Every structure is written in structure tokens, then in C-alpha cells.
Chain A
């Protein structure tokens, strides 16, 4: 069994009892996916477990490297299962992340198919709008979106190895102004719609009139 996203994997193992946490001691595990379904599932669980501790709250990070097996007893088992379930609840949705995705315009269809793996409903509109270009005029050379997503979804989006698909961490670009600075670094500008263009022309005209009427 393979999972499209980590979130899918987490949903698969949620509520299941995970008894052996000894592999936490060995986070350098290289094999992530195996051929057999069972090995794949087990390895995926281990991989999720290790990876998620990198982002987990302090209380869960405190478990890293711990092995409760030398302290047998129902209470310890309950505690551990509680941690596991709490951890999975948290890891599935937390922390929220923000992915700014910029794609080449000629790959709009392929990029939309990637987005639809997560955004099943409405994913067709992920890269809507007039897009981006070097001059801010049509035609668009790129399209983009600003996506509030879960950590696992962010990983899925970031792990797409495509030259025409770039993901930027939106945390650094939390205002429209900063977003435009990012675009400027990439030599891109937003293409304004005709409606906004009309408004801007009116405003420019009004502003010029105002300047002319001001006493020197």
C-alpha cells in the first residue's frame, strides 16, 4: 500500500497501537519504501514516526530516543498509546504551513493535476487568475497560488521534483507587499485585470489632476 501524502499515511495508522518505538533511536534509516505491501506499511509508519518528531511539540520531542520497554505495565502502555494518538492528531494538521507555488504557464495542466491530488474538490482552480509575467502584461509566463496547507501537504507539494514547479515557504511572505518583493526577486509581476487596470487609469488621471490644481 502506498500513500499519496503523509496525511493519508497518518490517517491509515491513526488509532492503531504502535508498540515498538525502538527505531526512534535510529533516525538514519534509509529505506523508506519496500516492495511488499506489509514492508511498505511498516516502513512508512517508521518513517512518519521519525520525521514527525522533527516538528512535534516539546513534550513529544522529549520522547525521542526513549524506550519504555524496560518499564512494563499497563499504565506505561496507555501513556505511550496516548502520546502516539495525540501525536498523530497533531501531526496530521499541525503546524499549518503556507506554500507559495509558482509554475511555468505551459505546465498549467500538469500542475493542476498535482494540486488536485490534495485539493480534490475545486483543485482545477488552484492556479486561477491572470498569472505573472516579467512586465506585468499578458500573456502570462507563470501562474501561482498561496496555499494554507498542513505540514504533510506542504511536504508533498515541496517534494515535487519538477523544474517548472517551485515552492517557497510563505511564512516569510505574509503580506502582499512582501509577496510582491518575492516576485520582484524572480523578475515577475502580477498581471492586473482589465477592471483593475481601468481603476488604476482613473486613479492616475485623478491624481494628475490633483497635482496640477495644487498651488506651486
Chain B
């Protein structure tokens, strides 16, 4: 076999990892969040990983609040070409979780934009704070695909349901009795999930990383300390990820 043929047979040899076709990170539609987010994590900005690699660090594009996981058995998995030819970070619902502490407490009102595909109905926590007394969380209701918000007082957002097999775009405003949940452009009535304020973020499980694991593909998450205009981000994320 000539050497050129071998290079074709083994295209990864001699290349920098992560430079394959579906991982061209610079050409993802150019979505930029509005305003000044505290944190912005998008799966298509992860570099240096191939399909099925464990994710140790998910870099923050807004500041330097990188989501991390040091424990090998708890690292989620990087999956390429999952939605609109873009990658995701896959949490296995058994032990995977990532977390980061914000530099300070996010006092209500707080706005979160979350693009995820929740792939299994259980009592699972999609995101949470990092302490039990300082949390703002999004759950799935047991055995169904209903959503629930919790900032100290778990509150069902019936009938807003997660989909399976395609990503949801959720926008959540935690603002005491004026909180709401938005599912693919449809907004709930005001609810009151409590008054707690987060000092960090956990993805894929409850705070502390040792309970409530969710089987979920995570695409993008944006956190704001304040009330953020929904329209621009929602349109940009919808276009980028092809959510309903």
C-alpha cells in the first residue's frame, strides 16, 4: 500500500484532534447572546475532543466560569453531529455531572436559556445550583415529561412538557411570585418557585453531583444575573439548533 493510501486510510494520523468535518467550530451560525451573560456554555465551542470522548471542561464563553468534572467516571460524553450537524454534551443519567461556582451570588431576578434534549422521563434534575440552600433548578416530573422549577419551593409548570428525540429551548425567569417558564416560545403563567439565589451551576444532576442524575443531551446554556430580553436569544438559539 503506498504511503498516500495509508494516510487516506488513517486520516487522523498527524492531524490535530478535533478538526474533522462536523467539528468546524467557527462556522456555527454566529449566534452571540444579547446583553452581558454571567455564563455561556455551548457544546460547539468545545475543542480538542472527538466523538465519545469524556468532557472534563466545558469552557465558558462569557467569563471564565468553566464547567468542570475531575472524576473520570462522572464526566459526560462529547457527541458529534447530534443536532443541525452540531455536537452535544451527553449526560448519562447515572453518574455524569458538571459544575462551577459563580464569582458571586446571582440575586433574583435571574434568567436562564437552556437548549437540551431530555431523553428519558424520570425524576431528574436538568440544572441546579451547587448548594441546597442556594438553588435554582429545573426538574422533570417523575415518569412523565413535565417540568418543575425550584428555588426553594418546587413548583410544577404543568402542562409544559419536555420533548424526546429533539431539543427543547427553555427560557426560565426566577423572580419570586413573578417567575415563569417558557417552552419553545410558549410562556407559562406566573408561578412562585421560591426566593433562593444560586452561587453556582450544576448540569446533569442535583447540586453536589450525587443525586437526581438526568439523561440529557446538553447543547447550550446561558445564565444572566437579571431579567434579560427573550426575543433575540430565543430567535438565535432556535435558528442555530433547529428547535420548534
Interface residues of A in 140-157 (CB under 8 A from B): 144-149
Given A115-B73, A121-B70, A145-B74, does the pair A79, B96 have CB atoms closer than 8 Å? no
Among listed A7-15, A31-39, A124-132, interface-contacting one: A124-132
Tell me the smallest distance from the CB of B57 to a CB of chain A, in Å.
Answer: 12
Q: Does A179 contact B (CB under 8 A)?
A: yes
Q: Are A179 and B209 in contact (CB under 8 A)?
A: no
Residues 108-122 of chain A, each 1 if its beta carbon lies under 8 Å from chain B, else 0 = 000000010011011
- Count, chain B residues at interface, CB 8 A: 41
Q: What does DSSP make chain B's interface, helix, strand, loop or mixed?
A: loop
Known: A177-B120, A200-B142. A195 touches B212 (CB 8 A): yes
| Chain B contacts for A83, CB-based, 8 A | 6
Specify which of A100, A192, A196 lies most central, judged by the most chain B CB atoms within 10 Å of its CB. Answer: A196
Could you tell me which residues of chain B, from 218 to 236, have a CB within 8 Å of some CB in chain A? none
A interface, over-half SS? helix
Whether B73 contacts A82 by the Cβ 8 Å rule is no
A148-B77, A176-B122, A195-B212 are contacts. A79–B13 as well, Cβ < 8 Å?
A: no
Question: A86 contacts B142, CB within 8 Å?
Answer: no
**Which listed residue (B6, B10, B209, B211) contacts A196, Cβ 8 A?**
B211
The CA of A119 and the CA of B74, in the complex, are separated in Å by: 10
Give the complex CA separation of A101 and B94 in angstroms.
11
**Which B residues fall within an 8 A CB radius of A?**
1, 3, 6, 9-10, 12-13, 52-54, 69-75, 77, 92-96, 119-120, 122-123, 132, 139, 141-142, 148, 154, 156, 206, 209-213, 215
Given contacts A129-B210, A193-B210, A195-B212, 6 further A-B contacts (CB under 8 A): A82-B13, A86-B6, A90-B12, A179-B93, A202-B154, A206-B156
